Structure formats: C-alpha cells, structure tokens
Amino acid sequence: MKKIVVFGLALLLVLLFCILPSYAIAGVTIRIPFPPPPPFVFSEEPDMIVIPDTYVYVYPEIEEDLFFYNGWWWRHWRNRWYRAREYNGSWEYRETCPRAIRGIPPTWRFNYQHHTWGKDYTWEHSRIPHIQLHDNWRTWRQDRHWEKPQYRQHYRQEDRRPQRGEGYKHHK
C-alpha cells in the first residue's frame, strides 16, 4: 500500500512540474512593448496643412513628422510608427501606418518650404486651424472637399489653373 501512495505522489509531481506547465506555456504570447514617444508640447494647438492629392494633414513647423489622417494622429519615432487620438495624447505602437501616409514623398518638407509640388507645379498651401480640422476632417473627406477647384492648392506654373497633379509620382 505504501508503494502505491509513493507511486501516486510521484506521478502527481511529474504531472504538476512537467506536463501541465507545457500546456500553460503553449497559450502564452510574450510581447515586449516599445516605449511610447514623448508627448508633443505646443504653446497652442497646431495649425495643419493638407498634402496635395491626399486627405493627410501635417504640421510643418517641427523637425519630426506629425500627421493627421482619418481621425488619428501619426508619428514616426525611433524607426517605429505610433498613433494617438490627440496630438499630445497617449501614443500606441503600430506595425505600420496607413498607405496614404506611406505614399507621401520624403521631399514634402522641401516642397512646402519652396512652394513647389511635383514637376512644374506651385503649391499654395494654407493653414488649417486645429479646431477646423478637428470639426471638419470627416465631412471634408466625404464631400471630397480638397478635390474641388476652389480648394485645390497646387497649380501648373505656366497657367495657374487647378490641376490634378500629373507628372507627380508617389514614392513608397
């Protein structure tokens, strides 16, 4: 009888220490979180501009790219993408960013500073106050606001008529 009890205890210990932990480990995902980027600190809410032929908005006055697209603020920090609901909000790591943001050429800041866009186009950008962007971005997208001739911000240099952006290729 004593041998049966010892054998039973040994079997129980084997189950507890060897077999059961492997079942528990199989369902566990270990994720190492990336530290979030520091918050932006502005003296007042940032005025944005819209990137031609997109509904991506950007704040051009800082070195780091700060985008707004489809209700989210996006930033690229330490080779990773982060998004937040507010520009100074809590940033969460994302594997990638929306295609519309990936399609923005890396030369956009140069183009902004020199009022150019693509080949033979002038970019007459205008500031969009934060509150207007916050209140209207969804309606602007639904109504195709930035595609209407009176709101187009880039023109062929020779005739100054609104153009669609021919000759410009998005870089990825």
pLDDT digits (tens, 9 = 90+) for 38-56: 888 888 999 999 999 899 9
Confidence band of 100 (pLDDT split at 50, 70, 90): very high
Average pLDDT over residues 106-118: 90
Average pLDDT over residues 2-10: 58
Percent of the chain beyond pLDDT 70?
Answer: 69
pTM for the full predicted model: 0.70
Provide the pLDDT confidence category of residue 98 given band limits of 50, 70 and 90.
very high
DSSP for the chain, written as a single string: -HHHHHHHHHHHHHIIIIIHHHHHHHT-----PPPPPPPP--SSPPPBEEPTTSS-EE-TTSSS-EEEETTEEEEEETTEEEEESSTTS--EEES---HHHHTS-TTHHHHHHHTB-STTEEE----B-HHHHHHHHHHHHHHTGGGSGGG--EEETTT--B---TT-----
Any idea where the domains of the chain sit in the sequence? 49-104+128-153
